[in-house]
Amino acid sequence: MAEFDVDLFVIGGGSGGVRAARIAAGHGARVMIAEEYRMGGTCVIRGCVPKKLLVIGSHFHQEIEDAAGFGWSISSVKFDWPTLIANKDKEIARLESAYTTNVEKAGARVVKTRAAFEDAHTLRLATGEAVTAKYVLIATGGAPNHGRAIPGIEHVISSNEAFHLPELPRRIVIQGGGYIALEFAGIFAGLGSDVTVVYRGDNILRGFDDDVRSHLRAEMEKAGITILTGCTVDRVEKHRKEFTAHLSNGSSIAAEQVMFAIGRHPNVAGLGLDKAGVAINPANGGVAVDGFSQTSVPNIYAIGDVTHRINLTPVAIREGHAFADTVFGKRTIAVDHADIPTAVFSQPEVGTVGLTEAEARARFAHVDIYKADFRPIKATMSGRDTRVLMKLVVDGTSDRVVGCHIVGDGAAEMAQLVAIAVKMKATKADFDATMALHPTAAEELVTMRTPTARYVREAAE
CA angle 451, 352, 192 (to 5 degrees): 115
Tell me if 75 sits within 8 A of 118, measured CB to CB.
Answer: no
The phi, psi pair for 215, rounded to 5°, reads -65, -45
Radius of gyration of the chain, Cα coordinates, nearest whole angstrom: 24
Cis (ω within 30 of 0) for the bond into 169?
no
| Rounded CA separation 407/351 (Å) | 6
Q: What strand order describes the sheet that includes 388-395?
A: 342-344, 350-354, 401-407, 388-395, 366-374, 453-456
**Measured distance between the N- and C-terminal CA atoms of the chain, rounded to whole angstroms:** 71
**Helix, strand, coil content of the chain in percent (nearest 5):** 35, 25, 40
Q: Which is nearest to 134 in space by CA: 252, 257, 297? A: 297
User: d(Cα 461, Cα 458) in Å, to the nearest integer?
Assistant: 9
Among 157, 210, 254, residue whose Cα is nearest residue 352 = 210
Alpha-carbon distances of 401 from 212, 249, 333, 432, 454, rounded to whole Å: 17, 42, 26, 11, 14
Q: How many CB atoms lie within 10 A of CB 274?
A: 10
**Could you give the CA distance from residue 420 to residue 395 in angstroms, rounded to a whole number?**
17
- Of the residues 59, 61, 239, 438, only one is catalytic, namely 438
Q: Is the Cβ–Cβ distance between 108 and 33 less than 8 Å?
A: yes
146 is catalytic: no
* Amino acid, single-letter form, for residue 125: L
Q: Among 356, 52, 413, which Cα is nearest to 206's?
A: 356
Give dist(CA 318, CA 311) in Å, integer: 12
Query: Of how many residues is the chain composed?
Result: 461
At 306, the amino acid letter reads V
Residues with Cβ within 8 Å of 118's Cβ and at least 6 positions away in sequence, in order, are 124, 130, 272, 275
As annotated, the active-site residues are: 438
